[in-house]
Amino acid sequence: MSHGFLSPTGVEVTFLLVGVVTLGAAVVSVTTRQLVHAALWLVVALGGLAVEYLLLTAEFIAWVQVLIYVGSVVVLLLFGLMLTRAPIGRSPDADSGNRGVALGVAVAAAVALVWLVVDAFRTTWIELDGASAGTTEVTGESLFRHWVLPFEALSVLLLAALVGAIVLSRKRNADVDAASSGKAGAARPAGPSTRTAAGAKAAGRAAAGRAAARPGEQGAADAASGDAGRRAEGGER
């Protein structure tokens, strides 16, 4: 099968179109002045990315992308935005003086990545008609046969982040406990800041498949229950 840029197949055309949409959504999401709109455009961008994965036959990665990024990270983001400040309409302070620098970094990163990918894969073509190269089985095999060391290293990293989040949140609670030790059972102020909670939960989610995530739940759960403002379980720790 000959491959040429001048005789694109349907899949290639779709790939390009989705890519354009994804890029556009990403650009809008960093330029819009409306915070929540930015998050929603991010959904479009991440979803577009999932479609690209799908077109590249990496089915498993595509669904995981949707599960983790669209279903969880953006929800977390929106949660954080709603908890803090998300006015309807423009946010006057949704701009930064570092616009130029950010643009530079973004372009540099893009160039580096594109150069790297182009250099690495050059004329490698994915055979769309043959056996799928991105099924769960293939992905799992390559992950746990050839890339098991990086995988483990990553999980240790995530575990470290988890433990760190717990340590951060517990320390503050200990202070509060010391301060209000006289009033057992009295209502206590809400727990650690939502960002910490969010971080812990995101990490917990990322490490979902691993039993190692277990110690993280307690801290994240307590932090999350701060949403209700009722923390009756004050004396638990």
CA angle, 134 as apex, 124 and 21 as ends, to 5°? Answer: 75
d(CA 143, CA 154): 12
d(CA 64, CA 71): 10
Binding to another protein by residue 41, rule CB under 8 A?
Answer: no
Binding to another protein by residue 21, rule CB under 8 A?
Answer: no
The nearest distance, CB 217 to another protein, in angstroms, is 5
d(CA 100, CA 96): 9
Q: Give the residue with the Cβ less far from another protein, 25 or 220.
A: 220
Q: Which of the stretches 21-29, 86-94, 166-174, 181-189 binds another protein when contact is defined by CB under 8 A? A: 86-94
Which candidate, 102, 220, 209, 103, places its Cα nearest to that of 161?
220
Binding to another protein by residue 70, rule CB under 8 A?
Answer: yes
Q: Give the residue with the Cβ less far from another protein, 28 or 67.
A: 67
Burial class (CB in 10 A: 0-12, 13-18, 19+), 162: buried
Applying CB under 8 A, the residues found at the interface with another protein are 34, 36-37, 40, 43, 59-60, 63-64, 66-67, 70-72, 74-76, 78-79, 81-83, 86, 88-89, 132, 135-136, 201, 204-205, 208-209, 211, 214, 217-218, 220-222, 224-225, 227-228, 230-233
